[in-house]
Structure 1
């Protein structure tokens, strides 16, 4: 996705405000339309794959399918001028040993960005997403884990890590409500401790509050939106969950307070 990284260096031409607003509204709806069509294709493929293939094979192919779909979606957003992405640092994790990948969570696009680069990764998802008509078939095919009930979630996540997968888990548990990062939950430390794997921190920086907590879905942002993902410190498997979570939260607060991307929101979107 070299063109996406290079796009960060290209500034859009200035347009009159009314014309720019129209363009942004059109791009917003094109983005939603593309997401719907891609999700439909994944759903139509997921049902027969899960029904006809052995579970181990369908899960592996399901994750590759999600990566292919999310990568094409992000390319489309770049093509229409809606967004620019620099996700190249995630590539360094592809061949690494199992670990928990722990990013901050400023927007609904965060999981899409990470999964677009890591085809073998599992993911902790809200139960309503795994059960939904829109995303559920693909999520179940890929073997993503529901976030409830807690004990089952932890056991399934540990099993996935022991099978050699990475695990995408947002330590805040939801999109950020208090910038630069909200209160972290203990789940990250609990899973990493139980599985005996490290925790790789990831920082997602953006020039807009688009699709953050409280952002109306039909409110068009100023485009193109810039997203940059960078790798942070990798923590050893924790010994004490509560102490680890406190240390992790302090680390996120410190790093995101000095974010590299100009315009990174430091307060919830108005």
Structure 2
């Protein structure tokens, strides 16, 4: 009886803690958009230096938010290989996408991280200032997207992509879009794999933030091997074939079961 009551209290606390954390996240995003980033824009005139500064602020903000989620008891997490990830350059970070905060957890380790952002976010008044200040890449035209990604990677940048395109649906086999593979083949940039597991499932595409599981969610983020792209470029008879073969390989290593 007492054990059941304590579990109920713990779950109610995690609901409240999750709501509080996301409220702070929203307020923080507004503060960054309307106060911090305009100050950075005003004080740093060089565009590249300004974007790097903004991305560093985003990384620090994500790190604080992740620690807040853990401190409040909303969830727990471990990132294995974070130092390896921080040292990567001129590569594409590819990860599976089981939860809403996957980008936050990975981004908390990357002082520099370019992202591909769907066109709708560029029209969002709360998010437009952030993605523009950070120099994120709009996903509008496929050809210009590939050119922009190639330019960033050629400069030594790290590009984060979730090739599923959206969060994983529990119980349904995942399929990968070919964008990450095409970018890797076109730019000849290696791929760093990151695998995320969440037990039990939390913040999935189908669930609301207040639908917390009975047990505290645990996120395990593991930085895995780097895939050498030269092998696929050599073996493929064309860039399209190489991208197709690479995409099949990514599906095998991201979803081994």
Q: Tell me the TM-score normalized by structure 1.
A: 0.83
Which one of 173, 177, 183 corresponds to residue 191 of structure 1?
183
Equivalent residues in 2 for 1:26-105 (5 A)? Answer: 26-43=16-33, 44-51=35-42, 53-105=45-97
8 Å CA contact retained: 2:95, 2:254:
no
Find out whether 1:23 has 2:25 as its counterpart: no
Specify which structure has the higher proportion of helix: 2
**Are 2:69 and 2:75, in contact at CA under 8 Å, matched by a contact in 1?**
yes
Q: Deviations over 1:150-172 (max 9, x none)?
A: 22222111111111111100111
Name the counterpart of 2:249.
247
Compute the displacement of 1:235 (Å).
Answer: 1.3
User: Is 1:120 aligned to residue 109 of structure 2?
Assistant: no
Q: Alpha-carbon deviation of 1:36? A: 1.1
Comparing 50-59 with 185-194, greater Cα deviation is found at: 50-59
Residue aligning to 1:137: 129
Residues 1:15 and 1:27: Cα distance change in structure 2 (over 3 Å) = farther
CA contact (8 A) 1:89 1:231 kept: yes
> Is the Cα contact below 8 Å between 1:181 and 1:252 reproduced in 2?
no
Segments of 5+ residues of structure 1 without an aligned counterpart are: 1-12, 258-270
CA distance in 2, matches of 1:84, 1:67: 19
Q: Distance in 2 between matches of 1:178 and 1:244?
A: 24
1:203 to 171, 195, 217: 195
Q: Are the structure 2 counterparts of residues 96 and 22 from structure 1 closer, same or farther at C-alpha, using a change threshold of 3 Å?
A: closer
Write out aligned runs for 1:106-185 (5 A). 106-177=98-169, 179=171, 182-185=174-177
**Aligned-residue CA RMSD (Å):** 2.0
CA distances 1:43-71 after superposition (whole Å, capped 9, x unpaired)? 12123423553211210101001001111
How far apart in 2 are the matches of 1:247 and 1:111? Answer: 22
Quick check: 2:15–2:74 contact (8 Å CA) kept in 1? no
Q: CA–CA distance in 1 between the matches of 2:145 and 2:243?
A: 17
Distance 1:79 1:15, change over 3 A: farther
**How far is the alpha carbon of 1:96 from its aligned partner?**
2.5
Rg comparison, structure with higher value: 2
State the alpha-carbon separation in 1 of the partners of residues 137 and 172 from structure 2: 27
Q: Is this contact kept in 2: 1:180–1:253, CA < 8 A? A: no
Query: Is the contact between residue 145 and residue 153 of structure 1 (CA under 8 Å) also seen in structure 2?
Result: yes
Distance in 2 between residues matched to 1:244 and 1:223, nearest whole Å: 37
User: Which deviations, in whole Å up to 9, do the C-alpha atoms of 1:77-103 show, x marking residues without a partner?
Assistant: 111111112114122122233111000
| Displacement of 1:179 | 4.8
